[in-house]
């Protein structure tokens, strides 16, 4: 299906691995010019090179810490200067942090909210004028189902993701008049770098444990019986970025193999 995205420009935060890289790849395969940003230059540039080898769209790497508002504004300005437009923003930068309320500290809570909520806010505020100038655009916030139905020992992630879901709905109302559509994709268990780092720790304790076996065990918790691929999330993100989703805004879509207990 031609999604009509050829020639458009997207920014994907946290684009160096996992869901961000999957989204960037899906967009690039549709002919989108994609700016991926993250903090680690080596990992970021390796991701950009991998995407270029698999897709026809232009891909550029921008080292940026989304918790730094000035750095985010500078990155957005550079993308616009480079390609002359910005059509799509995917706010994906984040990490998983889970503990009980008794273990959570002010430092862990502040760090989590700064990365996931403030980071998305800074990027959104920076791109809105560019989207408005084009007569509309797309902002897609990546959250989790835990933001709608928190589990035990899920703080601070469930709290920051709930804020992201609420921010999505509020933004969609504020920006509808400008034809800027804002949605959130609630991600479940998807293959990503953070899981591979946990696998490395597990393998240190069991040298016979393979990555495939590790993922199979994780997948047993999912109704569909497997862990998701990053590109499966990327394809949903790509659809929401397209004109095929021109009447979808303020929505949250679970991409989790059926794990969430809520719709």
Contacts of 128 (CB under 8 A, 6+ apart): 175, 178, 180
DSSP 17: S
Residue 59's DSSP bridge partners are 34
pLDDT of residue 141: 98
To which residue do tokens 């655009």 refer? 137
Output the pLDDT for position 158: 98
Q: Do residues 224 and 154 make contact, with C-beta atoms less than 8 angstroms apart?
A: no
Residue by residue, pLDDT tens for the chain (263 residues) are 789 999 999 999 999 999 999 999 999 999 999 999 999 999 999 999 999 999 988 999 999 999 999 999 999 999 999 999 999 999 999 999 999 999 999 999 999 999 999 999 999 999 999 999 999 999 999 999 999 999 999 999 999 999 999 999 999 999 999 999 999 999 999 998 888 888 988 998 899 999 999 999 999 999 999 999 999 999 999 999 999 999 999 999 999 999 999 99
Place of tokens 């790849």: 25
Cα(240)–Cα(141) distance, rounded to whole angstroms? 11
116 touches 94 (CB < 8 A): yes
**Per-residue tokens: 183:** 């949605």
3-class SS at 9? strand
- pLDDT, residue 122, reads 98
Phi-psi region of 250 (alpha: psi -120 to 50; beta: other; left: phi over 0): left
DSSP 19-70: HHHHHHHHHHHTT-EEEEEES-HHHHHHHHHHHHHH-SS-EEEEE--TT-HH
- Strand locations in 57-179 (E): 59-63, 88-91, 98-99, 137-144, 155-156
Phi first, then psi: give them for residue 80, nearest 5 degrees. Answer: -65, -40
Domain 9-191+229-255: which topology?
Rossmann fold (3.40.50)
3-state SS, residue 171: helix
Query: How many whole angstroms separate alpha carbon 12 and alpha carbon 119?
Result: 12
Peptide bond into 175 cis (omega under 30): no
Residue 106 buriedness (CB in 10 A; 0-12 / 13-18 / 19+): exposed
Q: Tell me whether strands 98-99 and 33-38 are parallel, antiparallel or unpaired.
A: unpaired
Q: At what angle do helices 106-113 and 157-175 cross, to 10 degrees?
A: 30
What is the token pair recorded at 160? 């920051």
Numbered ranges of CATH 3.40.50.720 in the chain? 9-191+229-255
């Amino acid at each position: 299906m031609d999604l009509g995205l050829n020639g458009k420009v997207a920014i994907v935060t946290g684009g160096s691995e996992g869901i961000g890289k999957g989204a960037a790849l899906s967009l690039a395969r549709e002919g989108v010019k994609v700016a991926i940003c993250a903090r680690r230059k080596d990992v970021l540039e390796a991701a950009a090179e991998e995407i270029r080898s698999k897709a026809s769209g232009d891909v550029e790497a921008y080292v940026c810490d989304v918790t730094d508002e000035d750095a985010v504004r500078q990155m957005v300005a550079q993308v616009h200067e480079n390609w002359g437009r910005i059509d799509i923003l995917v706010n994906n930068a984040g990490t998983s942090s889970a503990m009980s309320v008794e273990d959570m500290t002010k430092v862990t809570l502040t760090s989590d909210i700064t990365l996931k909520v403030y980071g998305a806010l800074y990027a959104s505020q920076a791109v809105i004028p560019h989207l408005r100038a084009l007569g509309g655009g797309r902002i897609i916030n990546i959250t989790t189902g835990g933001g709608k139905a928190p589990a035990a020992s899920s703080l601070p992630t469930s709290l920051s993701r709930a804020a992201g879901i609420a921010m999505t709905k509020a933004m969609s109302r504020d920006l509808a008049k400008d034809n800027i559509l804002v949605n959130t994709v609630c991600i479940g268990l998807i293959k990503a770098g953070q899981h591979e780092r946990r696998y490395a720790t597990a393998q240190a304790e069991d040298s016979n444990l393979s990555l495939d076996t590790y993922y199979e065990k994780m997948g047993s918790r999912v109704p569909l019986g497997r862990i998701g691929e990053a590109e499966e999330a990327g394809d949903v993100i790509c659809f929401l970025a397209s004109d095929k989703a021109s009447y979808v805004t303020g929505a949250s879509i679970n991409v989790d193999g059926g794990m969430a207990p809520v719709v």
